[in-house]
Amino acid sequence: MAPNPVTPAAHAALSNKLLHRVLGAMSVFTMLMTIPQVLTIWIGHRAAGVSVASWGAYLLSALLWLWYGIEKRDRNIYLPCVGWIGLDIAVIAGAIVYA
């Protein structure tokens, strides 16, 4: 049996790179999945069933993750938070306006 030419460190680096790509893709995907909610509220003027408390909690979470990501200098953390903060504010503001 031939030895595995990939060292444990190389395997960890490859695994870490793959994880960062998957996390980045999921960040974009989940934000895209939130856009219909924003459009329903702002274009359709329908905010029935939208919980300001829940979206406020999401906003608080995004703000805390933004702070943490900036402290760690990790773009995979803080860049998506900017998008989430914008989406959260759009949903909250729309829910208040059209409630």
Cβ atoms 79, 65 nearer than 8 A: no
Q: Name the DSSP letter for residue 5.
A: S
Which structural domains are found in the chain, ordered by start?
34-99 (1.20.1280.290)
The model's pLDDT over 17-48, given as tens digits with 9 standing for 90+, comes to 899 899 889 999 999 999 999 999 999 999 99
**Which amino acid type is present at position 30?**
T
The model's pLDDT over 46-95, given as tens digits with 9 standing for 90+, comes to 999 999 999 999 999 999 999 999 999 998 899 999 999 999 999 999 99
